[in-house]
Amino acid sequence: MVVLVAFSCRRNVVSALVPTIGLEVHCQLLTHTKMFCACPIVHGAEPNSAVCPVCLGHPGSLPVLNEQAVRLGVRAGTALSCAVDPQSVFARKHYFYPDLPKGYQISQFDRPLCRGGYIHVDIAGKRHRYALERIHLEEDAGKLNHEGTRSLVDWNRGGTPLIEIVGKPDIHTAEAAAEWFRMMHRVMTTAGVTQGDMQKGHFRCDANVSLATEGAPLGTRVELKNINSFRFLAKAIRHEIERQKAVLKSGERIVQSTRSWTGSESVSLRSKEDAADYRYFPEPDLGPVPVFDSDHEDAQKHLPCIPLDVWLLDQESQRLLDVQTEFALGAKDAAALLAEPTLFSLFQDSVKAGGDPQAMANWIRGPIARWKKESEGAPFLLTSEQLVLLNQRVQDGVLTRAVARELVQEICGRGGQVAEMIHSRGLARVNDAERVSQVAQDLVSKHADAAEKYRSGDSRVLGFFMGQAMRIFEGKVDGGEMQKALIKALSNEGLGD
């Protein structure tokens, strides 16, 4: 009995743990050449074709700082209300890894380019402000390509200019972290600091996650490395929170470590290093980095407003109201459409082509958005005219909504003409009340045991009958009409007992 009480107490403690999340973003700067040499920034080129003695760390080679990288770093800090240091300092960060040819990375440590600052995020209609620790300049490492049991190193990416944006650990939900990451991406791309192509690694995030009881010191943190998707970031953090809860519930302790996200789970990479493990010291081949008046003038010239994040949110709020008013949409529909520019463009074109705004929003937010999510960047072939026609065929009773949903997803990926596809495939809705009634009666007779369960009060069985009927008609019968016929058949059978 004592053991059960103790277990219950431990379980309550674990369930009361509060997650704390700190994010670090690696943002590739929009320059033509690398941070410390004249090698071009390339993507998809022949491996090790864009390298030189400087970025490979050959003895006697000396780095020369890319001034545009500094200018873009100042612009990023200015956009986020950071304090820009008039003289920052580079340092060597030592660690051994095959993609780091020098055996160290040139980064910044105790004298970063920018300190402080904030990022604002709107969540569920409420604005939140999250603090930043710093923004510092550094060079990127190379890339490992894994082929079976061996790994090949491509140093083309090595030396690419980056800024690392370090947030303070003041986020407490996975959803807020994803919005923070999404907003940071908007700020940096709007400011022209980066192209922000996440598939090419231009913008990737590390998340430090820890659990502790409210008011207690932060727990042991675990780092989730190199996540390049807003959705995956939220999913990875939720998974890590549950993993840590399970570890603590079992009586074990959290080990400080770095983990990689596979898309469905995290796997351990290595124990997490602290600053002392990297043996930082000032880079002897580079002097202090001065920030000139021209760098600040560049930021003022290229930023539409300072702070940029607040301006973007205010613009977004106004646009949201405008869309709601113009198209008579609810806030959720308007926000979801605006979040996906290609879908919003389809929505606008569909309304111009004569589509009802709410009906178009329902199609786009439903099966079309689902196709886009699952297609992973495939070309979008559905036109606004075909969407309007498809919806009209449903309204006219020519197509059932179930068939139309399948058809719209097919046209998204393959293209096609709605009228021709309905005719050639025989997709038109079944308008034969006698046949619908007969199918309902046949199903009730065939599945007498299930019918008896329904009559005994198990209404869930009706779903089974509906599934059977829709398969027979291949979805080409109205769901409401079929359900009425089944209920009538079940009731008549009951009266005959």
Most confident listed range (18-22, 251-255, 380-384) = 18-22
Question: What's the pLDDT at 12?
Answer: 47
Q: Which residues contact 64 (CB under 8 A, 6 or more apart)?
A: 36, 37, 54
Q: Is 55 exposed, middle or buried (0-12, 13-18, 19+ CB in 10 A)?
A: buried
Amino acid sitting at position 327: F
Going by pLDDT thresholds of 50, 70 and 90, the confidence category of residue 15 is low
pLDDT averaged over every residue in the chain: 88
275, 109 Cβ separation under 8 angstroms: yes
Angle 418-425/384-395 helices, nearest 10 degrees? 50
Question: Quick check: 368 pLDDT over 50?
Answer: yes
Percent of the chain with pLDDT over 70: 92
Both tokens of 474, joined, read 């291949």
What is the C-alpha to C-alpha distance for residues 174 and 237, in angstroms, rounded to an integer? 6
In this prediction, residue 60 has a pLDDT band, given cuts at 50, 70 and 90, of very high
Q: Structure tokens of 129? A: 């402000």
Can you give the pLDDT at residue 284? 95
Q: Which two tokens stand for residue 90?
A: 């580079």
Q: What mean pLDDT is predicted for residues 431-446?
A: 76
Q: Grade residue 358 by pLDDT with cuts at 50, 70 and 90.
A: very high
Q: Which of 107-121, 270-284, 375-389 has the lowest mean pLDDT?
A: 270-284
What is the residue extent of each domain of the chain?
2-302, 328-425, 433-495
Q: Position 436: which residue type?
A: V
| Residue 438 token pair | 């007969």
Stated length of the chain: 497
Of 453, 473, 469, nearest in space to 461 by CA: 453
Evaluate whether 168 touches 133 at the Cβ level (below 8 Å).
Answer: yes
Architecture of domain 433-495: Orthogonal Bundle (1.10)
Which residue type occupies 177? A
Q: Bin 141: left if φ > 0, else alpha if -120 < ψ < 50, else beta.
A: beta
Report how far apart the first and last C-alpha atoms of the chain are (Å, whole number): 54
pLDDT beyond 50 at 9: no
Which has more pLDDT, 441 or 417?
A: 417
pLDDT in the model for residue 52: 96
Euclidean distance between CA atoms 441 and 472, whole angstroms:
13
What confidence category does residue 5 fall into, taking pLDDT thresholds of 50, 70 and 90?
Answer: very low
Note whether 26 and 140 are within 8 A (CB): yes
Beta bridge partners, 147, equal: 150
362 class by beta-carbon count within 10 Å (0-12 exposed, 13-18 middle, 19+ buried): middle
286 neighbors 90 (Cβ within 8 angstroms): yes
pLDDT tens figures, 146-192: 888 898 999 999 999 999 999 999 999 999 999 999 999 999 999 99
Region of poorest pLDDT, from 87-91, 319-323, 400-404: 400-404
CB-CB contact of 53 with 204 (8 Å): no
Mean pLDDT confidence for 411-431: 78
Token pair belonging to 110: 């105790």
Please spell the DSSP secondary structure of 225-267, one letter per residue. Answer: EEE--HHHHHHHHHHHHHHHHHHHHTT--PPPEEEEE-SS-EE
CA dist 295 and 339 (Å) reads: 32
- Kindly report the pTM of this predicted structure: 0.75
The closest alpha carbon to 245, from 277, 222, 215, 228, belongs to 222
Q: Where are the alpha helices (DSSP H) in 113-254?
A: 174-190, 230-249
Give me the residue label for tokens 């200015």. 78
Is the CB of residue 18 less than 8 Å from the CB of residue 173?
Answer: no
pLDDT computed for residue 460 by the predictor: 84
pLDDT of residue 40: 96
Return the bridge partners of 11, or none: none
Q: Is the pLDDT of residue 48 over 80?
A: yes
> Which pair of structure tokens corresponds to residue 305?
């407003």
Q: What is the pLDDT of residue 73?
A: 98
Residue 497: pLDDT band by 50, 70, 90 thresholds?
very low
- What is the predicted pLDDT for the residue at 274? 64
Judged by average pLDDT, the poorest of 87-96, 226-235, 395-404 is 395-404
pLDDT at 430 over 80: no
With tokens 């990288």, the residue in question is 69
d(CA 5, CA 100): 53
229-242: burial string, b at 16+ Cβ within 10 Å, e else: bbebbbbbbbbbbe
Backbone angles phi, psi at 73, to 5 degrees: -65, -40
